[in-house]
Chains A and B, each alone.
Chain A
Amino acid sequence: MEQPIPALKLSGISKNFGAVSALTEIDLEVHPGEVVALVGDNGAGKSTLVKIMAGVHQPSSGDIAFEGQPVTLNGPSAALRLGIATVFQDLALCENLDVVANIFLGQELNPIALDETAMEVRAWTLLNELAARIPSVRDVVASLSGGQRQTVAIARSLLLDPKIIMLDEPTAALGVAQTAEVLNMIERVKARGIGVIMISHNMEDVRAVADRIVVLRLGRNNGVFLSTDSNEDLIGAITGASDNAVSRRAARRVEAPT
Chain B
Amino acid sequence: MTTDSEKGLLDRSDTRVRHETGIADTLRAFAGRVRAGDLGSLPVVVGLVIICTVFTSLNPIFIAPNNLVNLLYDCSAVGMISLGIVCVLLLGEIDLSVGSMSGVASALLGVFWVNAGLPLPVVLAMALVAGAAVGAIYALLRVSFGMPSFVATLSGLLALLGFQLYLLGNSGSINLPYGSWMVNFGQLMVMPDWLSHLLALAPGVAILVLGMRRRANRARSRLHPGSGRGLLVKALAVTVGLELAVFYLNLGRGVPWMFGFFALLVMIMNYAITRTRWGRSVLAVGGNAEAARRAGINVKRVYFSCFMLCSTLAALGGILSASRLATSSQQAGTGDVNLNAIAAAVIGGTSLFGGRGSAWSAILGIIVIQSISNGLTLLNLSSSWRYMITGAVLAIAVIVDALARRSRTQHGRA
Contacts and interface: CB of A to CB of B under 8 A. Distances in A.
Given A105-B284, A114-B277, A92 B218 contact: no
Interface stretch (A41-49, A118-126, A182-190, A240-248): A118-126
A96 B356 contact: yes
Contacts of A138: 11
B204 interface: no
Contact of A121 (B214, B221, B356): B221
Nearest to A138: B11
Given A77-B296, A92-B288, A111-B276, 6 more contacts: A96-B414, A108-B280, A117-B214, A117-B218, A118-B221, A138-B11
Contact of B275 (A97, A114, A120): A114
Contact of A120 (B223, B276, B292, B295): B223
A128 B214 CA distance: 23
Interface string B278-309: 10110110111011111111100000000000
Contacts of A101: 280, 283-284
Interface residues of A, number: 43
Chain B interface bracket (under 10, 10 to 19, 20 to 34, 35 or more): 35 or more
B295 A76 contact: yes
Contacts of B53: none
A140 B294 contact: no
A158 interface: no
Contacts of A95: 287-288, 414
B17 interface: yes
A143 B17 CA distance: 13
A212 B296 CA distance: 30
A106 B295 contact: yes
A111 B292 CA distance: 16
Contacts of A81: 296
Contacts of B4: none
Interface in B11-47: 11, 13-14, 16-17
Contacts of A142: 408-409, 412-414
30 contacts: A75-B293, A76-B295, A77-B297, A88-B294, A94-B287, A94-B288, A94-B355, A95-B288, A96-B288, A101-B284, A105-B297, A106-B295, A106-B296, A107-B295, A107-B296, A108-B277, A112-B277, A114-B280, A117-B217, A120-B11, A120-B221, A121-B222, A121-B223, A133-B14, A134-B14, A136-B11, A136-B14, A136-B17, A143-B412, A143-B413
Contacts of A80: 295-296
A117 B276 contact: no
A86 interface: yes
A209 interface: no
A79 B222 CA distance: 34
A76 B287 contact: no
A77 B298 contact: yes
Interface in B90-128: none
A96 B355 contact: yes
Contact of A56 (B10, B218, B294): B294
A113 interface: yes
A137 B223 CA distance: 11
A111 B277 contact: yes
B96 to A, nearest CB: 24
Interface in B213-237: 214, 217-218, 221-223
A196 interface: no
Contact of B293 (A76, A121, A128, A136): A76
Nearest to A101: B280
B21 to A, nearest CB: 14
Contacts of B290: 92
For A113, A121, A134, A137, which residue has the most chain B Cβ atoms within 10 angstroms? Answer: A121
Contacts of A133: 14
Contacts of B13: 128
Given A124-B10, A142-B414, A97 B287 contact: yes
A75 B14 CA distance: 38
A54 B214 CA distance: 37
Nearest to A92: B291
Contacts of A39: none
Contact of A135 (B16, B275, B291, B355): B16
A137 B280 contact: no
B17 A135 contact: yes
A107 B293 CA distance: 13
A66 B206 CA distance: 49
* Closest 3 A/B residue pairs (Cβ): A96-B287, A77-B296, A111-B277
Interface in A1-55: 54
Nearest to A144: B412
B283 A94 contact: yes
Contacts of B411: 143
A92 B294 contact: yes
Interface in A131-157: 133-138, 140, 142-144, 156
A93 interface: yes
A136 B16 CA distance: 10
Nearest to B285: A94
Given A86-B294, A113-B276, A106 B281 contact: yes
Given A101-B280, A106-B281, A111-B277, A94 B217 contact: no
B268 to A, nearest CB: 12
A175 to B, nearest CB: 15
A23 B184 CA distance: 69
A251 B278 CA distance: 59
A121 to B, nearest CB: 5
